Structure 1
Amino acid sequence: MFVLHNNTMVLIGVFTLLFTLQFLNAQPIVDTPWGLVEGTTNVTEDWTPYHAFLGIPFAVPPTRSKRFKRPQPHPGLNHIFKANSYGPACVQTLKAFGGYGATGDEDCLTLNVFTPASITETSNIPVIVWIHGGGFVSGDAFSYDPSSIVAHGQVIVVTIQYRLGPLGFLSTKDHVSAGNYGLWDQHLALQWVKKNIASFGGDINSITLMGESAGSASVAFQALYSGSKGLFQRTVMQSGSASSSWAYTRNSLKYARQLAHKLNCSSQSSPASMVTCLRTLPAKKLTAASWPMGNEPVTTLAEFYFVPTVDGIFVKDDPLVLMSSPGYLKQVGLQNLDCMVSVVSNEGGIYKVLARAADKHLHSSFSSSVQNKTFYRNTFVPEILELYFGASSTDLRQAVAKVYVPSQSHTFTLQAVMNTFGDAGMVAPATLFARAHAKLTSSMKTGKKTYMYVFDHVPSFISSQGKGADHGQDLMYTFGLTKAIMAPLATLFPNGTSHPDLSEKELAHTLMGLLTDFARYGDPNNAVQYGLHQTWPQFSEPGEHYLLLNTTMSVGSKPYKDRVTLWTQTLPRLLQAAQNQHHTTKNPHPNIVG
């Protein structure tokens, strides 16, 4: 048996420290097509060195006359760019999530590149591009610290920013302001990565696009845009899709006019004069006025107003229509991507966070009134249906109530409300995307894979809003339970009581491993085989298997079967029946059947 003496251990520690200090003293400079970029060398919490290149502008500032227009690529620099600090967050309203006013900067289109300290230009390692969430109205890149994934997974991570709220998504439904500028920002960032990441040691043919919540919906929108072909090879979608009830609006012109009216910008005049007026206003004033937009009792919670919409180019049609069209999915090349989707086990837990914020700012009582069965059936459910399908009816309302509030039930719990909210917002749309991808790749025999997991661990160190992991709680594990990632996210989940235990740290290690293995190979099995004791099957018919991800792990089939069937089959068929019977209906897409 080989034993190290204390003196030997001290020497090893000294050499390790000297080695790390040597890295820290050397500032990396990368020669890219964009220009020379000087970064910094940092260390993870366990003293593993990595490089960070922060605040790189990938677009010309979208200000003044460039507001409400597609981004223009930054031309690059002819001198060394000191990439040693993050760029500012994009202008955003905090009210929807419990804060006050607006914050951020309109000149915010920057990205950040994180690499292992040991790689060179010829390393050719996988790349993950991260899109942050926040309902398309809030969020930033610098709240996510990918150092653990980078250092221990030996991948490059790029985090990007994009315009939010009205600055990113105001649309007049015509050429004056077509909208979806935030999606175009993301697209331009992806083009920058494709052109420059090889200089950092990245493999341009192994790029994974990954995001959570609105970032996840953004990944879906990018995958459904034909102009994205070749920009990435894999997708990871955590808790959101293009068809999520909150991720798409059919009422963009209505909301543009309401915002203009609030800001005295001649809302009834031509779109051109209205938008010209809105361009003259301070960005924060414009954004602060964007929530709430009216007195709708539920959409104030479930809809963020300025989000993606059909523009005929980036978003060709209602996302539910696109998802049900194999011909369109084939046209955009979805069959050539590997795809992983995930949800958490209590997605609707975010409802309580939003309800508290609304009650605080609007002096309302969402938190309690929604638990009234009459309010739930006659107000809450119809508005969720309107958001998801663009239609509501007695038959639809009764079908929803039958699943979530059975007639024989004498009690009505907040959990039923949260499940309704979470299923329309995250669970059904994620499953629909996985199902469409699996069917397409199977029928075309492209060999690309579909995986799904349900994150089902309730953190021991923060409070939960219901049964299971709440929306967003998986993020802390995704990024390794580092202090940098836990601090900003834990503010959404108050009443923390302790620190992660060993099993939770192992769970974070497993999650990071399956994500980086998927990014590297298109197959996450290597990271889970020790704890799972079996193969993690692909998500495909008829089993539709998924990984139940917690400290024990297991494989399940057809996640939330009855609830998902409601949203992907029962309700669309009722809509189609109404169309066939009356020949006309409020439903804009009657032929959607999951």
Structure 2
Amino acid sequence: KNPVKAEPWNDVLLAKYLPNICAQPTEISVILGGEYTIVGDEDCLYLNIFAPLNSHEEDHLPVLFYVHDGLMRFGNSGQTNVADYLMDEEVILVTCSYRLGMLGLLSSEDDIIPGNFALKDQAMALNWVKENIVTFGGNPDKITVLGYSTGAGCGQLLAMSPLTKNIVKGVISGSGSYSSKWTLSRPGYSASLVKKVATYFNCSERSDMLLTCLQSKDVSELISLDKLFTVWDWDPTVVYRPVIEPDQPGAFLIEHPESINYTFPMITGITSGEENFRKILLQYGDQTKMNTFMEQINTILPKIFYVEPSSDHGKLLVEKIRATFFKNSTSIDAVIDGFSNVFAQSNIIYPMLRTLRKHQGPSYVYVFDHRGLYSLIDKIVAEVAPEKYSYTMPKPSHADDQLYVINNRPYPFSESDYYISKTLIKLWTNFIKYQDPTPNHEADSNLFWSPVTDMAKYLRINTLDISMKERMKDWDTIETFWDSLLTFPQ
């Protein structure tokens, strides 16, 4: 169901502890496969507010609204120290939880189970911030949304939705975009999943009866059903996806995003090693899964892209991807390299380029190239293959730059990490305040980050070099290749 606004109350909230996280499988249990370990609770729609010490209602500080990542399947709004160095720059940080997996995105594509509940949770939290943040010293007219990976796509959709487009003044999106295949499903796809869910639980396919039936099930049963739709490894990485809804009150998305003339200011970027996330996991995981992939590639590959294998589109996907990324090789290393690049290009790099092509407002593009002491993938590899955990990864992995803005790292910074963190936070908070990351060259006396033109110059962020660079040579090739293969929504 759509979220319902909480009733006002006059009691005192002792905000000493973090609230519940939303019901979900742990990240490790999703990636490793097997039985899910379920954590969290259905009572989870809370937000957290972080303000500088001694801030006052009259300060009107700009607000950063953070949407967490996690494939719309897992993740949470962070720890108590998540704000860390952000508070040095006189901003308010708000983090929110939202329903995940089936609970957040199941849709029968009608008004009974309309879908987009996760996004509507985010929208309701954002509207609450608009109405109440002044009490915490925030400026309700200066709200910027920040997200990484799937959170990045959510942030961009929040800037387009009729529920929130007049609230969002800017978006910062890293390693993700609304035009990724995981961000929106084509008409009919979500309804087809609902039929499979109904069959599994022996429920009626009629939406009203199905809703009643599902509400009688234990939440762990509903969440664990994700595995029914796993084709290979943990793909498709996102099972239930947002949908375009009928134009009715409370609808989050009522038209195709690419038909919307969106002009909000935006920072968007990638890391220089987006492919490392899948590459490292496949290298240190069960090698037999790669044999399975190659043996069943004609079926697995199209389904990862939400395409029917027997269709002309499915056959074309296999043919072109095999020839381009695998060079028709059968060696394990070549297949891992190829699949990792398919993942990075189709999910992250190409969608960013497509979004920039459609975007009508000022856009600032970056490539994060700093490999610090810690990567988001480190904790996963330590669980997957601790005996092999001695690899050297010279480039940052998927969404690693968020470690330097949102503090969810387990280790202290090195000197170079600290420098990168302070620089990133200065650029991001300048954008939050002025919708320009380098007004008057504030972040660095020698730095001017220019918005995108047709040539799409980008800011390279590295310890040794933070400067504007010419458009990457392979971006044109990436755009041309995936334009020929992917539709949106997929």
TM-score relative to the length of structure 1: 0.70
Letter in structure 2 aligned against 1:412:
A
Tell me the residue number matched to 2:104.
Answer: 168
Paired residue for 2:172, among 224, 229, 236? 236
Contact 1:243/1:388 (CA < 8 Å) preserved in 2? no
| In structure 2, C-alpha distance between the alignment counterparts of 1:472 and 1:588, rounded to whole Å | 23
| In structure 1, C-alpha distance between the alignment counterparts of 2:470 and 2:296, rounded to whole Å | 34
Deviation at 1:366, TM superposition (A): 2.9
Bigger mean CA offset, 146-155 vs 278-287: 146-155
In the comparison of the two structures, how many residue pairs are matched? 462
| In structure 2, C-alpha distance between the alignment counterparts of 1:230 and 1:401, rounded to whole Å | 44
1:513-532 pair list within 5 angstroms: 513-525=426-438
| In structure 2, C-alpha distance between the alignment counterparts of 1:394 and 1:240, rounded to whole Å | 27
Tell me the residue number matched to 2:395.
Answer: 468
| In structure 1, C-alpha distance between the alignment counterparts of 2:31 and 2:305, rounded to whole Å | 23
Distance 1:345 1:302, change over 3 A: farther
Paired residue for 1:279, among 206, 212, 215? 215
| In structure 2, C-alpha distance between the alignment counterparts of 1:471 and 1:588, rounded to whole Å | 22
| In structure 2, C-alpha distance between the alignment counterparts of 1:532 and 1:296, rounded to whole Å | 51
Deviation at 1:540, TM superposition (A): 1.9
| Structure 1 residue 297 corresponds to structure 2 residue 232 | yes
Letter in structure 2 aligned against 1:210:
L
**Per-residue deviation, residues 326-381 of structure 1 (Å, max 9, x unmatched):** xxx22xxx22x211111112223332577599x77xxx9335554x5x765x3554
| Structure 1 residue 477 corresponds to structure 2 residue 389 | no
Tell me the residue number matched to 2:11.
Answer: 79
Paired residue for 2:202, among 265, 273, 287? 265
| In structure 2, C-alpha distance between the alignment counterparts of 1:467 and 1:415, rounded to whole Å | 15
| In structure 1, C-alpha distance between the alignment counterparts of 2:392 and 2:313, rounded to whole Å | 28
SS in structure 2 opposite 1:347?
coil
Paired residue for 2:372, among 459, 473, 477? 459
| In structure 1, C-alpha distance between the alignment counterparts of 2:420 and 2:452, rounded to whole Å | 22
Contact 2:175/2:271 (CA < 8 Å) preserved in 1? yes
Tell me the residue number matched to 2:241.
Answer: 307
Tell me the residue number matched to 1:565.
Answer: 479
SS in structure 2 opposite 1:291?
helix
**Per-residue deviation, residues 272-323 of structure 1 (Å, max 9, x unmatched):** 22221110112223212x221146236x423332231232342335xxx532
**Per-residue deviation, residues 423-481 of structure 1 (Å, max 9, x unmatched):** 111111122222322xx23xxxxxxx2101111222234557866321132221123xx
Q: CA RMSD in A?
A: 3.2
Letter in structure 1 aligned against 2:436:
D
Tell me the residue number matched to 2:93.
Answer: 157
| In structure 2, C-alpha distance between the alignment counterparts of 1:197 and 1:183, rounded to whole Å | 20
Tell me the residue number matched to 1:194.
Answer: 130
Contact 1:386/1:392 (CA < 8 Å) preserved in 2? no
| In structure 1, C-alpha distance between the alignment counterparts of 2:443 and 2:61, rounded to whole Å | 25
Deviation at 1:82, TM superposition (A): 2.1
| In structure 1, C-alpha distance between the alignment counterparts of 2:265 and 2:274, rounded to whole Å | 24
Tell me the residue number matched to 1:419.
Answer: 341
Tell me the residue number matched to 1:57.
Answer: none
| In structure 1, C-alpha distance between the alignment counterparts of 2:111 and 2:392, rounded to whole Å | 43
| In structure 1, C-alpha distance between the alignment counterparts of 2:213 and 2:101, rounded to whole Å | 17
Tell me the residue number matched to 1:404.
Answer: 325
Tell me the residue number matched to 2:385.
Answer: none
Identical-pair percentage: 25
Distance 1:352 1:145, change over 3 A: farther
Deviation at 1:544, TM superposition (A): 0.5
Letter in structure 2 aligned against 1:571:
L
| Structure 1 residue 100 corresponds to structure 2 residue 36 | yes
Distance 1:122 1:503, change over 3 A: same
Distance 1:589 1:259, change over 3 A: closer
| Structure 1 residue 535 corresponds to structure 2 residue 445 | no
Deviation at 1:388, TM superposition (A): 12
| Structure 1 residue 546 corresponds to structure 2 residue 449 | no
Contact 2:236/2:304 (CA < 8 Å) preserved in 1? yes
Q: Which one has the largest radius of gyration?
A: 1
**Per-residue deviation, residues 160-218 of structure 1 (Å, max 9, x unmatched):** 01111111111112122111111111000010000000111111111101111121111
Deviation at 1:90, TM superposition (A): 0.4
| In structure 2, C-alpha distance between the alignment counterparts of 1:295 and 1:506, rounded to whole Å | 41
Consecutive unaligned residues of structure 1, counting only runs of 5 or more, are: 1-68, 442-448, 491-498, 573-586
Distance 1:393 1:274, change over 3 A: closer
TM-score relative to the length of structure 2: 0.84
